[in-house]
Amino acid sequence: MSQIGVTGLAVMGANLARNIARRGVPIAVHNRTASKTHDFVSEFGSEGNFTGSDSLEEFVQSLERPRRIIVMVKAGAPVDGVIEDLVPLLDKDDIIIDAGNSHFVDTRRREQYLTEKGLRFIGTGVSGGEEGALNGPSIMPGGPRAAYGEVEEIFTTIAAQVDGEPCCAYIGADGAGHYVKMVHNGIEYADMQLIAEAYDLLRHGIGLDVPTIKGIFDEWNTGDLESFLIEITATVLGKTDAATGNPLIDVIVDQAEQKGTGRWTAQDALEQGVPLTGITEAVFARSLSALRDQRKAASGYLAGPQPGGLSESLVDDIRKALYASKVVAYAQGFEQMASAARTYDWDLQMGELAKIWRGGCIIRARFLNRITESYAETPDLVNLLMAPYFRDAVADAQDAWRKVIVSAVDQGIAVPAFSSSLAYYDGYRRERGPANLIQGQRDFFGAHTYRRVDKEGSFHTRWSQDGTEVKTD
């Protein structure tokens, strides 16, 4: 009998199954198209104890009880389809584990549905791409605590390990795991956009060539910015196109695609009223990049400065701007998770989340240690920017950060994530902003009332009548 099963043997499912099998866990594998299961077993069968099944019935029968079934199919309707097929074949307390990039709202719905059927459901985030799935991903499981207990050993064994600790921890009830994975992806979007903006300034603002920029990213990867995304940026920039002999980056179409997790993060932030500006700008930047034909038409038509000629002394300033903006992206992402914890009644452990992102996942980075430390020092930290380490880091970077944004604006180089992050920072550190005027306007045209700084209660001014103020409550 197999201890666990994986259905869905596309690359993520296949790699996860191999990872589990390589740790000595007997595993059942299944795919809708039986030939795929056969191919999988003949190719990787020697890596562990696999039981391949042609039918879902056979697959379910080959599992120990309570059954533990990882579903690794495309997010959305296919997950519901597999669940519907599995339900009649399962027994009380069996566990279905959705390890795809499902929307947390769907996970909440599925968890409730399966609980009503006497089954258990774990919605788990798995990050690290194909490589991570095979060699150790970061795992973010959500669902009933007791159900997690049944898979904990396998999950913590297959996860990436950092300083002897697994990059896997129980996140919280129902959709908490997929929620945290969603925000992880949102941060991934912001991080990628910030790196792209830095590249744009180096390339078109200063005018450096691609090999030089590759070298800069290599160097940045030895300091505070050390991370998987900076590392792969250098690798991507170092790749020569076999067909043209030029850097591959120069022949890749400048349209960023997206599968939805970044958009969901931004949508949820709007729902919760969390000012998630960096991630949201990163999503919009992808949308703008997609308008390739319009950009082509506008490029010879709309006026603006021609970039180029910035001093090379700006390189280090760009590094600092990138770091400060990245801090803001994380601060906002963590603020969003704290808000979600209140909304959905999840006991999210912020320091723990940063800890399980230190290895295996796409946003793994040296600076996550600092986030863990900050939450360890102050568990109820309201905003990462208020932690002494990050306050000082941003204070050190801010002159450079401002200079870089001013230069970009002068040059006509769009840096939406850099500049929105700075705008957030400047807005956040203002005790009194200009929203008093907005309240005055709202009261003028809609009698929406305002509060006063010197008195309790709500007030309205009779703007179009006698101009007197009345207390409305």
**Binding-site annotation, residues for substrate:** 101, 127-129, 184-185, 189, 259, 286, 442, 448
Cβ atoms of 96 and 105 closer than 8 Å? no
Interface with ligand 6PG (CB under 6 A), residue from 51, 115, 157, 258: 258
For residue 405, give every residue at least 6 positions away whose Cβ sits within 8 Å of its Cβ, in sequence order, or none.
321, 415, 418, 419, 422
To the query of whether residue 58 is one of the catalytic residues in this protein, the response is no
* Binding characters for ligand 6PG, 337-366, by CB under 6 A (x = yes): ------------------------xx----
173 phi/psi in degrees, rounded to 5: -70, 165
Residue 40 to residues 36, 56, 130, 347, 399, Cα–Cα distance (Å): 6, 16, 15, 39, 55
Catalytic residue among 36, 111, 150, 181: 181
The least CB distance from residue 252 to ligand 6PG, in Å, is 14
From the centroid of its chain, how far is CA 318? 23
Residue 259 in the binding site for ligand 6PG (CB under 6 A): yes
For residues 134-172, one letter each, b for 16 or more C-beta atoms within 10 angstroms of the residue's C-beta and e for the rest, the string is bebbbbbbbbbeebbebbbebbebbbbebeeebbbbbbb
Residue 203 φ/ψ region, left for φ over 0, alpha for ψ in the -120 to 50 degree band, beta for the rest:
alpha
- Residues in binding contact with ligand 6PG, number by CB under 6 A: 13
Q: With respect to ligand 6PG, which residue has the nearer C-beta, 131 or 241?
A: 131
Q: How far apart, in whole angstroms, are the C-alpha atoms of residue 433 and residue 90?
A: 58
Residue 3 in the binding site for ligand 6PG (CB under 6 A): no
Catalytic residue among 36, 111, 150, 188: 188
Structure tokens given for 467: 């101009």
* Binding characters for ligand 6PG, 73-102, by CB under 6 A (x = yes): ----------------------------x-
| Burial classification of residue 20, based on how many CB atoms lie within 10 Å of its CB (0-12 exposed, 13-18 middle, 19 or more buried) | buried
- Binding region: 8-13, 31-33, 73-75, 101, 127-129, 184-185, 189, 259, 286, 442, 448
Residue 19 in the binding site for ligand 6PG (CB under 6 A): no
Residues in 211-250 that interact with ligand 6PG by CB under 6 A? none
The least CB distance from residue 140 to ligand 6PG, in Å, is 10
Residue 411 in the binding site for ligand 6PG (CB under 6 A): no
The least CB distance from residue 377 to ligand 6PG, in Å, is 28
Residue 182 in the binding site for ligand 6PG (CB under 6 A): no
The least CB distance from residue 425 to ligand 6PG, in Å, is 26
Interface with ligand 6PG (CB under 6 A), residue from 106, 111, 188, 191: 188
The least CB distance from residue 236 to ligand 6PG, in Å, is 14
Name the residue whose CB lies closest to ligand 6PG. 127
Q: How far apart, in whole angstroms, are the C-alpha atoms of residue 123 and residue 104?
A: 8
Residues in 121-140 that interact with ligand 6PG by CB under 6 A? 127-129
Q: With respect to ligand 6PG, which residue has the nearer C-beta, 348 or 361?
A: 361
| Burial classification of residue 105, based on how many CB atoms lie within 10 Å of its CB (0-12 exposed, 13-18 middle, 19 or more buried) | middle
- For the chain, report the end-to-end CA distance as a whole number of angstroms: 69
Residue 191 in the binding site for ligand 6PG (CB under 6 A): no
Q: H-type helices in 238-349, by residue range?
A: 261-272, 277-290, 292-299, 314-344
Chain position carrying tokens 């299961």: 37
Sheet arrangement for strand 50-53:
50-53, 27-30, 4-7, 68-71, 95-98, 120-127, 138-142
To the query of whether residue 181 is one of the catalytic residues in this protein, the response is yes
The catalytic site residues sit at: 181, 188
Q: Which residues of the chain form contacts with ligand 6PG (CB under 6 A)?
A: 101, 127-129, 185, 188, 257-259, 261-262, 361-362
